[in-house]
Amino acid sequence: MNQNLEIEELLKQLRNELAIPKKNRPKDWEDLVGRLVGQIANDYASQKNHELALAELSLISLAASLGNKNAKKRVLKPSLWLECAPPSINKVLLSLDEQKMGIKSLSSIKSDWVSLYILGELESLTEKRLIPVYLDWLLKHSNNLSGLLSTLNKNNFSPKKISREDWVFDLLSYLLQTAPKQVVNDEFIGELLRIISYGVIEKNSLETLQIKVFEVLNAFSNYRPSILIATTMPALMAFFEYGHLTKNKKLISLQEALAYKTLDILRAASTLKNVGGDELIQFMTVGLKRSIYKFDRIQSDFGSPEINDDISKQSHESYETETTLVALISNWRDYLKSSPSSKGLDQLTTRLNELLRHFSIVSVGEEDLTEAYDPFRHELLDEADKNISIIKVVRPGFGKRREDGSIRILLKAIAQAS
């Protein structure tokens, strides 16, 4: 018991030292913090009080992040909680920085308790700035955005201390920030729909919610256009039927952006139909066309001869259509990796490749091969690696070959340091 009192005093001293701004630190700060870290780290290995152990782990990690050399050498592992959940971070750790380091220190654990523990922490949260930090941890544990939403939906999660509107808006803002880094599958739309359908949104908040959702869909569809034709998309549009009457210019603009992106997919599918007319491609074209009936802003376009009868005469050389075709074919190649080969799939792949040649679209980079890094051709997985000169291609990109032989990049190749 006396030993724990001593540790509590050491933790208090360490907290005080770590709170000193860098410019105000005394000359002996490094040595003093180093000695405190050493004493606390020695106790950590045998500490049975989980609250003290969590504080020790987090504060030493915080000291390391603030530049203390001795703390950087002390790599503490959260092995105490491999089988059981730790005490509440919100209750044990005092400052925002401590809590962030506590989350970071525990986030390597893959145990079964993690999801419910995070949801419990979000439930008792008083510091809203920690919401994205906890969601990052939950996303890491869930592996992808659909898994994250599925976990929240499965537990019917809605924090009591945060208003429903604030929680949903914060969640959508978080999803918007992660869009460039996440591969979104078709299940994402369904899980998103269930999240926003938990309860009735106040009418004066509905338009703000619509804008947020459409911003998320608009951003994600830049990377995976196929989510706009997911089977649950009509249900999502029906949920926002009130938005058809809106006079909000931003909402109208987002509605139109999504509508015309979907129209581009229709046009791309019609081009596929002209490349070869088997039943699979015809079915795809009909399915794409039916999927956009909820977009009132362009619904009248689909009755015109320009779309229905003479679509093959349309010009598909626009940048928007090229980008949509590239995204469709990129998604198709991802699908082939997880699907057994068959004559039907091989035939469609051949036609897709013919479509690429028709538009003079070529691959940028070859998977698993190394080449010189070019920021105009390559998107690095780790932004910290921008000073490298040689990279390995993880996923090829696409470009448009001009008449002079040069290539205009449509989709950068994904690469990592070699």
- The arrangement of strands across the sheet holding 390-395 comes to 370-372, 390-395, 413-417, 378-380
Contact 364, 407 (CB under 8 A): yes
Per the model's pLDDT, the better-predicted residue between 216 and 275 turns out to be 216
Among the ranges given (217-226, 282-291, 362-371, 380-389), the one the predictor scored with the smallest mean pLDDT: 282-291
At 413 the pLDDT is: 84
What pLDDT is recorded for position 350? 76
The pTM (predicted TM-score) of the whole model is 0.60
- What DSSP letter does each residue of 112-178 carry, written as one string? TTHHHHHHHHHHT---GGGHHHHHHHHHHHHSSHHHHHHHHHHTT---SSS-HHHHHHHHHHHHHHH
Q: Which of 46-50, 90-94, 316-320 has the lowest mean pLDDT?
A: 316-320
Helix (H) or strand (E) segment spanning residue 409 = strand 407-411
pLDDT value at position 341? 63
- Kindly give the interhelix angle for 187-196 and 203-221, rounded to the nearest 10 degrees: 170
pLDDT on residue 336: 67
Report H helices in 311-384. Answer: 319-337, 343-358
pLDDT band, very low/low/confident/very high, at 286 (cuts 50, 70, 90): low
Neighbours of 12 (CB within 10 A): 13
Predicted pLDDT at 55: 92
Percent of residues in the chain assigned helix, strand, coil, to nearest 5: 65, 5, 30
HSE-up of residue 157 (Cα within 13 Å, Cβ side): 25
Residue 290: its pLDDT value, please?
A: 46
In this prediction, residue 87 has a pLDDT band, given cuts at 50, 70 and 90, of very high
The mean-pLDDT minimum among 1-15, 51-65, 79-93 falls in 1-15
Return the structure tokens found at 169.
């808006």
Amino acid identity, residue 303?
A: G
Cβ neighbours of residue 196 closer than 8 Å, sequence gap 6 or more: 168, 209, 213, 239
* pLDDT band (50, 70, 90) for residue 304: very low
307 is written with which tokens?
């779309």
Q: Who has greater pLDDT, 86 or 263?
A: 86
Please state, in angstroms and rounded to a whole number, the distance separating the CA atoms of residues 129 and 170: 10
CB atoms within 10 A of CB 231: 12
Task: Inform me whether the pLDDT recorded for 18 exceeds 70.
Answer: yes
pLDDT digits over 292-303, tens only? 333 333 334 433
Per-residue pLDDT band at 338 (split at 50, 70, 90) = low
The secondary structure of 45-98 as a DSSP string is: TT---HHHHHHHHHHHHHHHHTT-HHHHH-----GGGSSSPPPPHHHH--SHHH
Beta bridge partners of 370: 392
Q: How far apart are CA 114 and CA 360, in angstroms?
A: 49
Minimum mean pLDDT among 106-110, 196-200, 399-403: which range?
A: 196-200
The yes-or-no verdict on residue 80 having pLDDT over 70 is yes
Decide: helix, strand or coil at residue 379. Answer: strand
Is the pLDDT at 39 greater than 80? The verdict is yes
Q: Parallel, antiparallel, or unpaired: how do β-strands 390-395 and 378-380 relate?
A: unpaired
> SS in 3 state form for 154-172?
HCCCCCCCCCHHHHHHHHH
Task: Tell me how far apart the alpha carbons of residues 226 and 332 are, in angstroms, rounded to a whole number.
Answer: 10
Q: Is the pLDDT of residue 22 over 80?
A: yes
pLDDT at 313 over 50: no
Condensed to tens digits (0 to 9), the pLDDT of residues 192-225 reads 888 887 655 666 677 788 888 888 888 887 777 7
